[in-house]
Amino acid sequence: MSETAKSPLERPRTQPEGSHHIDGAYVADAGGRPLPVIYPADGSTIATLEHAGPDLVEQALAAASRAQPAWAAMTGTERGRILRRAAEIIRERNDELSRLETMDTGKPYQETVVADATSGADALEYFGGLAASITGEHVQLGDDFVYSVRQPLGVCVGIGAWNYPMQIACWKAAPALACGNTMVFKPSETTPLSALKLAEILTEAGLPDGVFNVVQGDGAVGSALVGDPRVAKVSLTGSVPTGRKVYAAAAEGIRHVTMELGGKSPMLIFDDADLDDAVGGAILGNFYSSGQICSNGTRVFVQKGILPAFLDRLAERLGHAVIGDPLDPTTSFGPLVSQAQLDQVLGFVQAGRDEGARLVTGGERLDREGFYMSPAVFADVTDEMTIAREEIFGPVLSVLSFETEEEAIARANATPYGLAAGVFTRDLRRGHRVIGKLDAGSCFINAYNLTPVEAPFGGVKLSGVGRENSRAAIEHYTQLKSVYVGMGPVEAPY
Ligand SMILES: NC(=O)C1=CN([C@@H]2O[C@H](COP(=O)(O)OP(=O)(O)OC[C@H]3O[C@@H](n4cnc5c(N)ncnc54)[C@H](O)[C@@H]3O)[C@@H](O)[C@H]2O)C=CC1
């Protein structure tokens, strides 16, 4: 690992015009509790926003309710055109948006410039393209027939996590809006900036006022949104404990939900795998975004024959990680998002040591300002250790060894989570056979953590319900009305 020279890109403006974006305009709430935004690379405060009070939550929900019928009455082609225009604006401003995302999250610019706003633009483009083809079906029943109409749900609430703020906002807004819903989106209080940019860009692209609104705040604000009777659907990206609360609150009103929650995903590396592909997959699946990715393959099961070579190569390649100022384009590994997250992850590293796992490399708090630690690899990890059971959400990779395919599958599935899974092997039949038996929603063979908008994304078991992206998302933002049409006389018994 090396540290970069300081040659950061120009810093974007980080203080927004207002904390919230409601009815097509920035809104401030002078009386709201202050919400400081911290740059994870140095701990400085780069903006101060406010948590929304009850009046602002009301304002946002009222705006979304008011705007919904007219938005739904537009044709899909018209709605889609606005979403695709917003995608174009995002691409034009990708550089500035990426620098803002880097300052909000601490993720290296090298990542945000290819994986955040651009992924959001993909979603707006994709669902903008689908909007005109959202249809029901027609079923002929003799002379009678039934037709179904795919209708929007109404007002949707989106609640985001802090690791991919822009991407999460777009992955929720794009399908919701394409289907004729309106949305109130609450970003994570840790990373509140880029969702405001999305609202601004959508307005610039021609989105009618009130269709997409952003309110800031913590769980209390999220909870106020989820419990409102005007809300038809809640889509959350967050941890399992928050998911339980939000799902239960949504159940009160029998609201639709999409839950994108945490994971402890397995990656199975067989003796016959291409060593560098497997090591590359393990790096992408554990250290990208400093390991703060829900679908990470943090339990790396390596077959005995390839284990020594795998560990050597992994440690060697980790030595090439460039840790530094995330605004420096050469930096490939940045800080964690907050002091609290860093403390939590270092606590897991300590637990790994205490329980007898072997720290191969990293796991140290770095002696520099900001929330930095070195990427950690543990070997000799066993299934019952804390680091093999609990979601860490940081740069900690656990290597577990195995002998047979059956054993690896059984151990990989022995978790309450089921978000993602990966297999590395050169044996085509084994790749498909093994992935078929793994309990996970988002799976990879000889790849890891690639999440194009065309692929359904989401988990099984505690990792969630519903799917984001792909055509599947349309099902989760619409409901079917069926209409039976009688063409003959009505036969009644009396
Ligand atoms: N499956 C997926 O797609 C992803 C899942 N995640 C998961 O997110 C977690 C990390 O993100 P965090 O922001 O720390 O999660 P978190 O669960 O602490 O917070 C998520 C969001 O929920 C809000 N919230 C908290 N309590 C609430 C309540 N009672 N009612 C309504 N909203 C409430 C928070 O303010 C935040 O906006 C990890 O567990 C990770 O695995 C993260 C990214 C993607």
Same fold, 20-262+463-480 and 266-445: no
Ligand 1 atom at minimum distance from 245 CA: 29
Q: What is the pLDDT of residue 5?
A: 45
- Residues whose CB is less than 8 angstroms from the CB of residue 261 and which lie 6 or more positions away in sequence, other chains included: 236, 237, 238, 239, 240, 243, 294, 419, 459, 462, 463, 464
Tokens read off for 59? 């304002």
User: Ligand 1: distance of its center to the CA of 92 in Å?
Assistant: 30
User: Which residue among the candidates 101, 111, 156, 172 is catalytic per the annotation?
Assistant: 172
d(CA 151, CA 280): 44
pLDDT band per the 50, 70, 90 thresholds, residue 29: confident
Tokens read off for 321? 């990680």
Q: Residue 6 pLDDT > 80, yes or no?
A: no
User: Ligand 1: distance of its center to the CA of 279 in Å?
Assistant: 29
Q: Is 266-445 a CATH 3.40.309.10 domain?
A: yes
Model pTM score: 0.97
- Who lines ligand 1 at CB under 6 A? 159-163, 186, 188-189, 218-219, 222-223, 226, 237-239, 242, 245-246, 260-263, 294, 391, 393, 419, 459, 464
Main-chain dihedrals φ then ψ at residue 303, nearest 5 degrees: -65, 145
- Please report, in angstroms and rounded to a whole number, the separation of the first and last CA atoms in the chain: 86
d(CA 181, CA 400): 45
Q: What is the pLDDT of residue 31?
A: 86
Ligand 1 atom at minimum distance from 242 CA: 17
Mean pLDDT, range 113-121, rounded to an integer: 97
Ligand 1 atom at minimum distance from 459 CA: 1
What ipTM was predicted for this assembly?
0.94
d(CA 374, CA 70): 52
| H or E element that contains 421 | strand 420-424
Judge contact between 267 and 299, C-beta under 8 A.
yes
Q: Residue 194 pLDDT > 70, yes or no?
A: yes
Main-chain dihedrals φ then ψ at residue 129, nearest 5 degrees: -70, -35
User: Ligand 1: distance of its center to the CA of 257 in Å?
Assistant: 14
For 133-148, b/e burial (b = at least 16 CB within 10 A) is: ebebeeeeeeeeeeee
Mean pLDDT, range 55-65, rounded to an integer: 98
d(CA 99, CA 234): 29
C-alpha closest to that of 191 among 38, 9, 52: 38
pLDDT band per the 50, 70, 90 thresholds, residue 2: low
Ligand 1 atom at minimum distance from 468 CA: 3
When the candidates are 3.30.2010.10, 3.90.180.10, 3.40.50.2000, 3.40.605.10, the CATH number that belongs to 20-262+463-480 is 3.40.605.10
Residue identifier of the C-alpha nearest atom 13 of ligand 1? 161
Tokens read off for 75? 């044709």
Main-chain dihedrals φ then ψ at residue 363, nearest 5 degrees: 85, 10
User: Ligand 1: distance of its center to the CA of 21 in Å?
Assistant: 21
For the chain, the structural domain boundaries read 20-262+463-480, 266-445
CA angle 103, 108, 110 (to 5 degrees): 125
Residue identifier of the C-alpha nearest atom 32 of ligand 1? 222
- Residues whose CB is less than 8 angstroms from the CB of residue 34 and which lie 6 or more positions away in sequence, other chains included: 48, 49, 50, 51
Q: For strands 299-303 and 396-402, give the pairing.
A: parallel
CB count within 10 Å of CB 443 equals: 17
pLDDT digits over 211-222, tens only? 999 999 999 999
Q: Residue 9 pLDDT > 90, yes or no?
A: no
Please indicate whether residue 468 is annotated as part of the active site: yes
152's torsion region: left (phi>0), alpha (psi -120 to 50) or beta?
Answer: beta
User: Ligand 1: distance of its center to the CA of 225 in Å?
Assistant: 15
Please indicate whether residue 172 is annotated as part of the active site: yes
